[in-house]
Structure 1
Amino acid sequence: MKVAILLIALLAMAAAKSTPGRMAARYDNFRIYQLTIDTELQMQELKKIHETISVHFLNDLGAPGHKYNVIVGPLFHRALEKTLKFLEIVYEVIVEDLQKLIDESSVGDDSEMEWESYHTLDTIYDWVDKECAAHDYLECKVIGKSFEGRDIKSIKLSKRSGNKAIFLEGNIHAMEWISSATVTFLLNQLINSEDPEMQRLSEEYDWIVVPMVNPDGFVYTHEVERLWRKNRRPNGFHNVTGDCYGIDMNRNFDFHWGGAGWNIDEPCDHWFGGVEPNTEIEIVSLQNFVSSFEDGYIRSYMAYHAYGQYVLLPYGHSNTEFPPNYDQMKRIAAAFSEAAADVYGSAFTYGASGLLNYPVSGAAKDWAYGVKKIPFTCTVELRDKGTFGFFLPSNQITEVGLEITAGLKALVNKAAEEGLFD
């Protein structure tokens, strides 16, 4: 619980700098450090660093051989750097002033939907409603309500009977604004693009889109705390600062739930997976919606996240267990990666998430594969590799949309070649 206590202290220090009319928590002169962890000893020491220095980990802490980003306030810059040098941990300051970066990726003109700035939930949902009203091949539903009573909306695009379906999921993690921006970009391409290939894909396949799985958390990132990850249900635990809120909903699915993951059992931490699986109304609504379709209809489930530029395949709970059709899934993911890189050079690494990163249990893609038997599922981690991370500037939204559109085209075509839609 010490991690949670010191994290909240860090957030409280940021919030103390709030000004009227602005988001409550501010991060003026907070730095983001990127640490290269080479050894198990360095990893163990990093996991203990919160005992003396207030830090906010932006990544799950897993195995050595990876880079990890941490946020540190101005009072602790010198102490952190001294500690890192003592531990011989190579580091780089990749962001000097986090608040400046947050301002650069904040909501711009929110009067109507476009993909050059980030938008609020109301603007995203208004756009969804207008598109649904304008096209008779779109079926739009409210698949459930969030804990705070907000709609969780779905859009099904179907122009022809007998099609198989592709499912796109967005913003299960509140702070990952590029997720819903990309999912709505893809949906807009399927509806309004004049590109013959996109028109063909919209004719030959059904598309089911849930652009906002976590509306409460998303609104909270806009109004209170930009760094919020979970949903907003009080989870029944508390610490010295008060009640703890939220569950990491991508740790709450009932497939090898609770088996692995950084701090998934810390109720006040970002990655808390709940006291048992399927505790969150948003997740149950999503699962019920997926289960409402006949078996074999949905052939691909893709969850969009930030960041790191990965196509993460099942499984997440293990680095030694792989799906029966893992080689086929890698070929499909490779097609995505190659096509996406052709646009702007963004390289996407692909493979089982437990192998590429570290074991993490209870994710949507693993549930979709392991429980619903959908033959191709993945988590697409969008731009970038850490320079901006969760705070990707809005001037990159369209570029991300274009490279992911190219990757999606190639992925679907390769999946068809592999017989996935037969």
Structure 2
Amino acid sequence: MKVLALLVALLSLLVLATARKQMAARYDNFKVYKAFINDNEQLDAFKKIHQYIHIHMLHDIGGFNRSYEVVVGPEHQHRFEVNLRFFDIEFEIIIEDLQALLDESAYDPDAEMDWVTYHPLDKIYDWVDEQCAAHDYLDCKVIGHSYEGRPIKSIRLSKREGNKAIFIEGNIHAMEWISSATVTYILNQLINSNDAELQRLTEEYDWIVVPMVNPDGFVYTHEVERLWRKNRRPNGYSNSSGPCYGIDMNRNFDFHWSGAGWGIEDPCDHWFNGEQPNTEIEILQLQDFVSSFDEDYIRAYMAFHAYGQYILLPYGHSNTEFPPNYDQMMRIAAAFAEGALDSFGSEFTYGASGLLNYPVSGAAKDWAYGVKNIPFTCTVELRDKGTFGFFLPANQITEVGVEVTEGLKSLIVKAAEEGIFD
């Protein structure tokens, strides 16, 4: 009977694994288009295309005089191109076969943790646990659990009492795999690098890292839909395809919530900001964790995202309102950009997110600045500028980690000069 029970259990696991593999969406011959929007007439037409052609917008749609990337399946490509030409919208195909590109970065589940491939959640968390067990200056906690019950882990590196802290978070948006890859690269350098400057920064400052804010969404991108952005809580709405899931958690923070943004009121869209602010358990636990520390302890808050190579400063909700110490933050952001440039020539643009991109509200960096009074906060949008976008090949992870680490070194030195850590 025991043997039979074991066989049944193994068969169940096999069926589950096979079902998961079969559920995973494929994107064979899906193309990624870049459309160039020149005026309001084109913008209005472009906004409506998704209402009658099945496409996947990769960005919030802001204003004109900019480009937008769109994923389109093979059965809709001809009609999509006809519509763009009808409205004289210029476009180019930047990825011919999305699945072929994704296959280039396919991970080996048996591989050790490294920064030359994208890893699933379990591999990342196992590595975090190993680091926590090996170093007594790491304080590791589960700050809470996601909607589906997965842990949200944190690592606090502290070698000396009385230090001020830098807070880093990653992967609040599920599809942005380069985010957690970069955050764990930085963490690995802080712990294991022999670089003298990095070791000085670990002696003189505390580092608090939450590498995975959205574990449910991240797992979903690995097992079901690579293009998923939000968390996975059913939001109570449905459309023609069935129940709608998820909230864009970087639109759900209670600072000028719902003040601006495209698609934030559509429960089935990728950017739905929720019916109210602070509805998502993941960000409530993140906020509680930040608030658990003494006032004035955390002096910098950095959220890592993809893509575009930006250092986005507060505020997001406006392109005319700026923080009181905006000029100071600009100088610090400039230092990051200068440090990152030296490694591989990657240029980072810096400034208020509402000014550089378009007004959108409810982001973590704005909450950290406007509610928690952390004097330097930003969103770092990582590589690239649109060649691969959210699908950055895994062979660029290490380069991204190197340039961002160099940028961080310069940023901390400049922030200290500016009195951020006083």
**Band of TM-score, shorter chain:** over 0.9
Matched positions, count: 405
The residue aligned with 1:271 is: 271
The residue aligned with 2:391 is: 391
**What TM-score, normalized by structure 2, do the two folds share?**
0.94
- DSSP-derived class of the 1:179 partner: helix
The residue aligned with 2:73 is: 73
Which structure has the bigger radius of gyration? 2
Shift of 1:66: 1.4
| Alpha-carbon distance in structure 1 between the residues aligned to 2:246 and 2:188 | 31
| Alpha-carbon distance in structure 2 between the residues aligned to 1:141 and 1:294 | 17
Shift of 1:106: 2.6
Q: Is the 8 A contact 1:110 1:123 kept in 2?
A: no
* Deviation readout 1:15-42 (Å, 9 max, x if unpaired): xxx9983552111111000011111111
The residue aligned with 1:300 is: 300
- DSSP-derived class of the 2:21 partner: coil
The residue aligned with 1:333 is: 333
Q: Is the 8 A contact 1:313 1:365 kept in 2?
A: yes
Q: What's the C-alpha RMSD, in Å, of the aligned pairs? A: 1.2
When structure 1 is superposed on structure 2, of 57-66 and 78-87 the one drifting more is 78-87
Which residues in structure 2 correspond to 1:196-275 (within 5 Å)? 196-275=196-275
Shift of 1:260: 0.6
| Alpha-carbon distance in structure 1 between the residues aligned to 2:319 and 2:105 | 35
Runs of 4+ in structure 1 off by over 4 angstroms are: none
| Alpha-carbon distance in structure 2 between the residues aligned to 1:414 and 1:169 | 21
Q: Which amino acid aligns with 1:98?
A: L
The residue aligned with 1:106 is: 106
The residue aligned with 1:34 is: 34
Q: Is the 8 A contact 2:20 2:224 kept in 1?
A: no
| Alpha-carbon distance in structure 1 between the residues aligned to 2:374 and 2:190 | 22
The residue aligned with 2:60 is: 60
Q: Is the 8 A contact 1:110 1:119 kept in 2?
A: no
The residue aligned with 2:6 is: none
* Deviation readout 1:323-375 (Å, 9 max, x if unpaired): 00000000000010111111111111000000000000100000000000000
| Alpha-carbon distance in structure 1 between the residues aligned to 2:329 and 2:20 | 50
Q: Is the 8 A contact 2:308 2:381 kept in 1?
A: yes
Q: Is the 8 A contact 1:28 1:99 kept in 2?
A: yes
The residue aligned with 2:421 is: 421
Q: Which amino acid aligns with 2:116?
A: E
Shift of 1:154: 0.3
**What TM-score, normalized by structure 1, do the two folds share?**
0.94
Shift of 1:51: 2.9
Shift of 1:104: 1.6
The residue aligned with 1:369 is: 369
| Alpha-carbon distance in structure 1 between the residues aligned to 2:368 and 2:53 | 39
The residue aligned with 1:132 is: 132
The residue aligned with 2:185 is: 185
The residue aligned with 2:348 is: 348
* Deviation readout 1:109-167 (Å, 9 max, x if unpaired): 54321101010111100111110011000000000000000000000000000000000
The residue aligned with 1:359 is: 359
Q: Which amino acid aligns with 1:107?
A: Y
Q: Which amino acid aligns with 2:104?
A: E
* Deviation readout 1:250-303 (Å, 9 max, x if unpaired): 000000001111100100110000000010000000000000001100000000
When structure 1 is superposed on structure 2, of 161-170 and 64-73 the one drifting more is 64-73
The residue aligned with 1:317 is: 317
